[in-house]
Structure 1
């Protein structure tokens, strides 16, 4: 084989490699944090106010995972109050595993979510609620075993 054929062979192998990389990159799934990013950014001032209001509470909302449930415990000043809100379980690695439940604590200030809704891994728990026309917001990282 002469040097001309070797050069052509190198170019063909290089082109095949580039086509393989382009094909793989086009098939890679990319999850966005939110589908409606712009409107969420405009509402971010509510998140800032909500965090400040939540930090003013006597204790933060606790998220734990005893046994086969995930437990959300409200601080004592929120027990018995009328709360309107949601709990979002955001999974950074796969947006298809995200889900949301309404915030409905019982008379003792606890709410449970079954572990059957979760897949092992990390979740970011985003708790938004409103009480007396004041927004509250808290985030916490949760690792499901």
Structure 2
């Protein structure tokens, strides 16, 4: 039996579609593929995003941006020295995009004008740092993406 052009094209389309469907079904059923959202309560976090935008703009307008400095002991998060450190309250969140089990939060309790994030809590690689803090009733936010390298 001879196969003409029309039959060959139809068979090629059926073969290609079957090939694609096989991989789609295989990947969606595979337990090794991680289909988690970035955060557990994604939609709840999305509703509070406007507060983050306002706090970030507030920090920019009031010119109270923080700075990061890498040291042998870890990362120093330096606050502006014109602020009274007893009035600063908040949290520091470190997010590891490649592994959510490495994420952690630190409360802001300052005795100096900086907070040291210890070297033993950080692994080499990409980290997203988010500092949400309040000073005299005003909310501020500092966000930074860094690539950390431990000093040897």
TM-score w.r.t. structure 1 length? Answer: 0.78
Q: Report the CA distance between 1:50 and its aligned residue.
A: 0.3
Counterpart in the other structure of 1:134 = 138
Distance 2:113 2:87 in 1: 11
The answer to whether 1:96 aligns with 2:79 is no
Distance 1:25 1:94, change over 3 A: farther
Q: Could you state the TM-score of these two structures normalised by the residue count of structure 2?
A: 0.74
Deviations 1:77-128 (A, max 9, x none): 324341121000011111111111011222x311111111111101010000
Runs of 4+ in 1 over 3 A off after TM superposition: none
Alpha-carbon distance change, 119 to 24 in structure 1, aligned in 2, over 3 angstroms: farther
For structure 1, the 5+ residue unaligned runs are 1-10
Which segments of 5 or more consecutive residues in structure 2 lack a partner in the other structure? 1-14
Give the corresponding residue for 1:4. none
Determine if contact 1:31/1:94 at 8 Å carries over to the other structure: no
Separation in 2, partners of 1:63, 1:121: 16
1:23/1:38 Cα in 2 relative to 1: closer, same or farther (>3 Å)?
closer
The one of the two structures with greater contact order (alpha-carbon pairs below 8 A, sep at least 6) is 1
Q: CA RMSD in A?
A: 2.5
